[in-house]
């Protein structure tokens, strides 16, 4: 990947890179674009390890089909 694909936003002095998983952003200060330090938000989605821990340490019964499906999905997303 070379460079950024800047996309304008609703704010005239702010732009973000449109490339997937880039996350770069800049704001206009005077006549110069300056990089912005983005604040990351905590994920609300559980990791596979958290799901496995929850399933193993609760009274939730998992069928063999559910366990196979979880394993397949886990391997797919790694």
Q: Kindly report whether the global pTM for this prediction surpasses the value 0.75.
A: no
pLDDT at 22 over 60: yes
Residue 65 lies in a domain: yes
How confident is the model over 1-16, as pLDDT tens digits?
468 999 988 999 999 9
The answer to whether the beta carbons of residues 4 and 20 sit under 8 Å apart is no
Mean pLDDT of 48-53: 76
Residue 42 lies in a domain: no
pLDDT for position 63: 59
Residue 1 lies in a domain: no
pLDDT at 24 over 80: yes
pLDDT at 27 over 80: yes
pLDDT at 42 over 70: no
Give me the number of domains the chain comprises: 2
Higher pLDDT, 34 or 1: 34
∠ Cα 51 77 59 (to 5°): 15
Domain that holds residue 20: 6-35
Taking each helix axis as running N to C, give the angle between helix 64-77 and helix 48-56, from 0 to 180 degrees, rounded to the nearest 10.
Answer: 160
């Amino acid at each position: 990947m070379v460079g950024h694909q800047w996309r304008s936003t609703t704010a005239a002095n702010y732009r973000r890179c449109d490339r997937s998983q880039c996350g770069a952003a800049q704001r206009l200060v005077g006549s110069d674009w300056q990089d912005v330090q983005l604040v990351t938000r905590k994920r609300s989605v559980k990791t596979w390890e958290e799901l496995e821990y929850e399933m193993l340490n609760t009274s939730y019964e998992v069928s063999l089909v559910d366990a196979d499906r979880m394993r397949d999905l886990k391997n797919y997303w790694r």
